A and B are shown apart, each in its own frame.
Chain A
Amino acid sequence: MRPTTVCLRSVWKGPFFVPLPAAPKDGSAVETMARASTILPSHVGRKFMVHNGKDFLPVLVSEQMVNHKLGEFAPTRKPFTFKKSDKKLR
């Protein structure tokens, strides 16, 4: 069984990332719309606010998140909930 290959970009090209602004001194979150940028090892421990189309969701980068993209941690759809309607059947 092959492990799940998430990355589709060829290795020789290097990871795709967007030059993000330098970390603010007080450790507050940085707002970003670059969902496709790879999380680099230098980002570990920083807080980002990732756009999901409407709001900005907080993401605290941990060491295990390194080779994923920022957008994976900001879901774009509301989870489906089944609501029973109270209409009486005639």
Chain B
Amino acid sequence: MFFLGVNIPDNKIVSIALTSIHGVGRQTGIRLCNQLLIHPQCRLKDLPEDKVTQLSTLLNGMTIETELKKQVADNIGKLVQIGAFKGLRHKAGLPANGGRTSTNAKTAKRMNRSRLSIDN
């Protein structure tokens, strides 16, 4: 089922299907379902239409998907712009939280530079 993003996992339980949206995790999914009184074992394809519209309105009010990615990219861009140490580490693609660089820095080398832009 197409939600605001490109969420199409129909056969899954609602709270778990919602986690495929960027910005919604396990806890937020469960909280949303409890708020709308959706049965914890209800599958996404069995949801009535009014519940689907209520879900959409709730999700529209949160920062998710591209808005969230932009927020993160802006925060990191601000650090780079003011010249802080963390900004320099993001630009160099190295660990920004004090990790060692002599060995192990695989995740940072792969991801830290791309966090500056929205498309990662």
A73/B83 in contact, CB under 8 A: yes
B81 interfacial by beta-carbon distance below 8 Å: yes
A62 interfacial by beta-carbon distance below 8 Å: yes
A79 interfacial by beta-carbon distance below 8 Å: yes
Interface 9-mer from B10-18, B45-53, B84-92: B84-92
B84/A73 in contact, CB under 8 A: yes
Given A72-B84, A73-B83, A79-B92: A1 in contact with B75 (beta carbons within 8 A): no
Q: Which residue of chain A lies nearest to B81 when distances are taken between CB atoms in the complex? A: A64
The A/B interface has a contact count, at CB < 8 Å, of 24
Tell me which residues across on chain A come within 8 A of B92, comparing CB atoms: 79
B82/A68 in contact, CB under 8 A: yes
A75/B85 in contact, CB under 8 A: yes
Most B-side CB within 10 Å, residue of A1, A68, A75: A1
Indicate which residue in B72, B82, B85 contacts A62 across the interface (CB closer than 8 Å): B82
A42 interfacial by beta-carbon distance below 8 Å: no
B39 interfacial by beta-carbon distance below 8 Å: no
A68/B23 in contact, CB under 8 A: no
Interface residues of B (CB under 8 A from A): 23, 68, 72, 75, 78, 81-86, 88, 92, 101
A-B CB proximity, top 9 nearest? A72-B84, A72-B85, A64-B82, A65-B82, A73-B83, A75-B85, A68-B84, A64-B78, A73-B84
